[in-house]
Structure 1
Amino acid sequence: MTGTGARDGLSDREVILWIADSQQYDWTFQELREHTVDALLDAAGVAEGAYVLDVGAGKAAREAVGRGARVRAVGTDPLKIMHAQGGGVDAVRHALPQLPYDDGEFDVVLANFVLDYVERPRTSLAELRRVLRPGGRIALTLWSERRGAGQDLLPGACAAGGVVLPPDRVDRAGPTDLPPLDPAEDFVRTPAGVLELLDQTGFAQAEATEVAWSHETRVEWWWGGLGTRLYLRPAYVTPPDRETTARIRAEYDRLRTEFAQEGGNLLLPHIALLASATAT
């Protein structure tokens, strides 16, 4: 996941293990987050000739290239870096809250679900402001305080199975593998809260709104990509035993019927925030 300093500076062996471990996760969560990319680029005004930084090195970077922009990207996932490079993006492995670029270097900064996964979101946003020229545009997405019903499928299965996740595991991303935020770095994840954050960080003409969509996925992908990787690792479940896992899986199978589609897939409603602003 983008922005976690612990994954910067990986050894070759760690890179191989991370790539293998991330495959099923990418099938689910990364695809889920790509729903907002077009709206993100529109909000930022990405156009031909713009000099763009994508923090995350995801689909947003490749789509910006397709719009004729000159694009650089940073991220911490080696596989995403390789995909970005293959799509014509000058991408490097680097983590917030520091960036290897000059003050005011970029016309546009994109951050698709980035602030959810950094340990210091306010400090990181200030760094994004630093590399953006005065009058340049930023557009970002992040998970909202208000959640879609599909976002609560796995937490609901855990709760019904007798395992209540700590609030910090679900508040930011549903869930996150980062520790709770320092209160000085945290902010309210509502449109008003994001507008206040942008104003305090040196942006003007800010806009923020909720975006909602339904994500279609396979039953086993959602369970394997998110359930086993994030919810059912020993760090999140006590006790981490087969009986507990089996009980949660049974509740998952019961609760998922609400979202079942013809052919066996799931259609999961999600809600996020989309914000954009101009650097002063």
Structure 2
Amino acid sequence: MPTVVRFTKGQGTGNDFVLFADPDGTFDLTPDRIRALADRHFGVGGDGVIRAVRSASHPEGAATLAEEPEAEWFMDYHNADGSVAEMCGNGIRVFTAYLLEQGLATLEPGETLSIGTRAGVRDVQLNRAGFQVDLGRWSLSDDHPEVRARDLHAARPGLGLSVGNPHVVVALASADELAGIDLTVIPVLDPVPAAGANVEFVVPAEPLVADGVGRISMRVHERGSGETLSCGTGAAAAALAVRYYAGDSAPDQWRVDVPGGTVGVRMFATEDGEHVSLSGPAELVFTGELAI
């Protein structure tokens, strides 16, 4: 017998999600059901599915409560193909907007909302762009594969980074080269990282820095979802990669243009190392019910 899911559709710079509340974690969220919800022809349609479940009611949420007891809600995020993802930068902003709209959480200017994710607890605040999330410590990975993509002349070196989930960033020479890549085909990584990776193709603006802010354009192929109009953690990874290539004089604040809009990225020092934050809009588009 079909199960009726009451859902909300949300998006952040065109990265879109199906969200629903399951506070006690009783809904059997199988890969087949995720794919049914995310299907753009027979379901709601989205790059991913986000379940709002109390951290205490989710097996992986217990670890986030140990890290931060105030992280009441766990963002149970899944890619459109049913696979699990550690973190989603656009998704957590939309998830925050959903929690506020549903009356499941409150967030006033100057306050912080702590949210559990598979990458650990992430802190969200209001800002002029919508929401800002501290993505935590970032790191260069040991994986720096060669990347091939359809309609990209010759393989290019990739820089592997982690911002809670894995990324490989590829620098391109021009906007035309960026526009010309066919990302309906999965880019080939050699060697393939053990956990796979989101792949970002990035072009610096000319000039790279204006008024102290770095500027880049990016397209992305997300593992488990394909090309998306935006990837928040990918934007952070792309900015980090370009700053790494640019050297010590590069700024810590970046504007990242993606097909779905613009997000902001900022790097800042903390006691446990350098963190990176992401800011941008979040919109709840419509609500409905779907029998799956």
Q: Same fold (TM over 0.5)?
A: no
The normalised TM-score by structure 2 is 0.28
Higher helix share: 1
Higher strand share: 2
